[in-house]
Amino acid sequence: MALDALGRALSNALKKIARAGTVDETLVKEVVRDIQRALIQADVNVRLVLKLTKEIQRRALEEKPPAGISRKEHIIKIVYEELSKLLGSEAKPIEIKEKPMILLMVGIQGSGKTTTVAKLARHFQKRGYKVGVVCSDTWRPGAYHQLRQLLDPYHVEVFGNPEEKDAVKLAREGVEYFRGKGVDIIIVDTAGRHKEEKGLIEEMRQISEAIRPHEVILVIDGTIGQQAYSQALAFKEATPIGSIIVTKLDGSAKGGGALSAVAATGAPIKFIGVGEKIDDLEPFDPKRFVSRLLGLGDIQGLLEKFEELEKEVEFSEKDVERFLKGKFTLKDMYAQLEAMQKMGPLKQILRMIPGLGYSLPDEVISVGEERLKKFRVIMDSMTEEELENPGIINYSRMKRIARGSGTSVKDVKELLEQYKQMKRFFKTMNKRQLARLARRFGI
């Protein structure tokens, strides 16, 4: 079960409580069974699942809700709290205590480490830090070129030499090079190892002695599920300054298992990879992650995304208001979808809005880059009147637009249906939720 499916299953379980006329023991046990099934299918350890759900059931049946909170709301809060505990309870960010801050990245071969190095460099760059990346991977000839390809467009310098075979020498020289450049953060990439963790730990120790990093970061593939436990545990025992990034959580069938397995070791998860793009790396906060997973939203995360976006594209408060209230033309819709894409996968962004959860129809949010390009071509063949008032577009206009854009009437209909779906959905959103959002955005 992918994380998206896990979130939908958990959200549906909570809806049973929200929609019930009365909450009794039978309903509580039914919901607990639903949660058990969802977590086990997501490859979370059975023992952990049973312990978690036993505690949810006990609290749901025994605790009295605080004043001003209904029993339904209290049970939902219990599920949220217990799932957050399962994944580590508190966020533990990487703290930039001195400059240059040296980060050493290690990982099993195929874990997505090199891509994650680029993502982490971009993450810090967006926050105003000057970053340098050292490639000391002497096993994979393409690693240096891969980092250059990923980071050159963002003007992040990569130090490396594909001809050099001494990884420790490369790491040491790279760190000294960037010290001379006056960068704020130096990220050192290392060679990925095969399944045997001992080689990974040994190289980590050798390079650590040479460059004395402030933090060593282990990259773990989220698709390996419960096997992440042994990797995380070995790493935690080898270094007292370790932290972890779990990758490939956008479509992972075992993401829940990997996250819970790592958390069970007590090793801090600092980031998670949620997509293939260089910006698809998120600081890991168990409470915010679970809140989104349950469909309860993540306003803080959404605000941070908008703050990042404002630095790169024009996205005014008026745009936000029009988007949230469904008052937008075809031109507005395109501009907003294009801007939202720069914040990350649209599905993840919209689920940061409280109340949306998993109620969004897939056709509303499944707007990939290719479809956006096609939409732009189609809209270029429309008149200004049609763009401002899509309701006037009848079949004969559709045929003219299709001919002019080199597409089909079906493609034009698809664009118009996308527009109608989004407009309809946002118009039906709870007005109280919109008012709360508007206050938070200062609208």
263 belongs to an annotated ligand binding site: no
110 is in an annotated binding site: yes
**329 among annotated binding-site residues:** no
Does 392 carry a binding-site annotation? no
SS3 4: helix
Residue 112 labelled as part of a binding site = yes
108 is in an annotated binding site: yes
- CA angle, 307 as apex, 346 and 313 as ends, to 5°? 70
For the beta carbon of residue 430, count every other beta carbon within 10 angstroms: 11
Q: Classify 344 as helix, strand or coil.
A: coil
160 is annotated as contributing to ligand binding: no
- 272 closest CA partner among 262, 260, 281, 285: 281
- Residue 318 has a CB neighbour count (10 Å cut-off) of 9
Question: Would you say 250 is a known binding-site residue?
Answer: yes
72 is in an annotated binding site: no
109 is in an annotated binding site: yes
190 labeled part of a ligand binding site: yes
Q: How far apart are CA 218 and CA 206, in angstroms?
A: 15
How is the chain split among helix, strand and coil, in percent rounded to 5? 60, 10, 30
347 is in an annotated binding site: no
Q: Is 248 one of the annotated binding-site residues?
A: yes
Cβ neighbours, 10 Å, residue 156: 21
Report angle CA 291, 297, 302 to the nearest 5 degrees.
115
Here the tokens at position 282 are 């998120």
Binding residues for GTP: 107-114, 189-193, 247-250
Q: Which residues are documented as binding site?
A: 107-114, 189-193, 247-250
